[in-house]
Amino acid sequence: MSPFALSLNVNFLEATSETWKLHLDNRNCKSVDLVTAYLKRIAKDNIHGAAIRAIIEQMIERISSPWPKSWMKSAREGKSAVRCMDNIAIQGKLKTTAGSKALHASVVARDSTVVAKLRKAGLIIIGKANLSELCNYRASGVLPNAWSGTGGLGLSPSNPGLDPSGSSSGSASAIAAGFIPLAIGSETDGSLICPSIRAGIWALKPTVGLISRAGIIPVSLNQDSPGPMAKNVKDIALLLNALVGPDEADPASIGASSGRRSDYTAFLTPNFEGLRIGVMNPEWFMSDENIPYDAKYIIESTLSALKRMEDAGAVVKNPVNLPTLDEMLAFNPSDVQHLDFKEGLKSYLANFESSDIHTLEDVMQWNYEHPQKDFESQITFEEVLEWAKKDISAHDEALSRQLRLSRDNGIDVVLKTHDLDILLVPSDAKKATRISAMAGLLLLLLLPPLAFEALYPDTASPEAFKRDASWPPVVS
């Protein structure tokens, strides 16, 4: 049978890298068949059909036929397909705009370090995912989540009326919709974790510096971290294997070398023996939150899962409290982020091979001259310019206080006092992501199916996404 007439007979909503490993190892398909099927899936429901607008651009590169042995056996063997958020630079025909039309004519000089590592690992990069424009920093709190000038308004693949959160909304929705098995997003404060929990997928925001940020449009280099997104934890671990490592282009990645591991799949075990978990009051974290589901369900399910982990050998300390929590929540992260964003964007734009846009002011001016009828506000940009008039010492003092409250006198103290390995908090709560963001520490989405079931009580999986009789896709 011709590979182009091959029926894959796979539910793309559930397919993982393991799924494709089996098909490829059994010679049921070649890489060109797999990618062609995904492109048909995207063509059906990205702009047309369900019109979730998760994808901005796509391009197929370096497709070999057949693939080598699966990349799952070694980070350097075989290939899978991956999609990157549009703030991650990819050299070539794909634009890197972070969703901003002001950057459409700009050409990046080189791949981001993340993309270079993905290529080295043998992954096929098939395009860019939509996002909240400029990582939700154009008009924070006003800009609709999942909207960008480039990609339009992205929708949840399971419920078009649901806020998919952001800013890595397109990456999360693309996986949930079966457009791609793997994606890379980035997080300053909640941008990986929140859209992933709304999509019912897995994500990890690594500690700042674990993965290089070189070549990624920044918000705050004191908080930003790219991270993996997938349908299961194994794919998260495999992507980490491919992405972690020091990079001279990102000084923070040099200092984070002591926290790296050679193989994250070694930790994939249901045995929680000896893991010490500190539990921060979930009811408090979920209070006063604007969340579109039953917080009580999340709290009860989280505590139930915690009991199962305890039964599997985990040592649980419940509750634990951060001594600086009230001060942390009263702290305004914008005192750090605003100047970080202005200077970080200027530094990033200086590395374009060709561009008429060199500063935040240039971006704003372009937007003024080319207004978009569906969204014109630049309120956060305006706040950034106003804040930048302050003396640099105000930023440095704020950063010092942020790290002292969140890390030195906060998380580190709790972990040491109670001899803990991790802290457990509800992941779709601003208070929870704020703590991790301020400290620049890892945040793992532990129980995404729980939030998904609360969001969609009539379904236990993202299969609420509309399908027709043509499912599964057939390569022709």
Assess contact for 170 and 85: CB atoms under 8 A.
yes
Q: What is the pLDDT of residues 177-221, one digit of tens each?
A: 999 999 999 999 999 999 998 898 999 999 999 999 999 999 999
Cis omega before residue 472 (within 30°)? yes
Please report how many Cα atoms fall inside a 13 Å half-sphere around the Cα of residue 284, on the Cβ side.
14
Cα–Cα distance between 350 and 172 in angstroms, integer? 30
Question: What is d(CA 300, CA 295) in angstroms, rounded to the nearest whole number?
Answer: 9
Query: Could you give the C-alpha distances from 252 to 82, 209, 362, 373, in angstroms and in order?
Result: 25, 5, 28, 40
* pLDDT for 160: 84
Contact 277, 308 (CB under 8 A): no
Look up tokens 């915690």; give the residue.
Answer: 306
Check if the beta carbon of residue 82 is closer than 8 Å to that of residue 124. Answer: yes
Instruction: List CB contacts of 409: < 8 A, sequence separation 6 or more.
Output: 323, 324
**Residue 444 neighbours by CB distance under 10 Å:** 18
- Other C-beta atoms lying within 10 Å of the C-beta of residue 100: 21
Q: What pLDDT is stored for residue 451 in this prediction?
A: 57
In this prediction, residue 171 carries a pLDDT of 97
Instruction: Tally Cβ neighbours within 10 Å of residue 120.
Output: 11
Q: What is the pLDDT of residue 161?
A: 81
Cα-to-chain-centroid distance, residue 112: 16
Low pLDDT (below 50) residues in the chain: 1-6, 61-78, 459-476
Torsion angle (degrees, nearest 10) of CA 171, 145, 373, 179: 20
Burial label for 449, CB within 10 Å (0-12, 13-18, 19+), is middle
Its sign, for the CA torsion 229, 14, 98, 139, is negative
The predicted pLDDT at position 454 comes to: 57
Q: Domains of the chain, with CATH numbers? A: 3-464 (3.90.1300.10)
Dist CA 150 CA 241 (whole Å)? 32
Written in H, E and C, the secondary structure of 420-433 is: CCEEECCCCCHHHH
* pTM (2 d.p.): 0.89
Give which of 380, 449, 382 is closest to 134, Cα–Cα: 380
| CA–CA distance, 163 with 136 (Å, rounded to integer) | 14
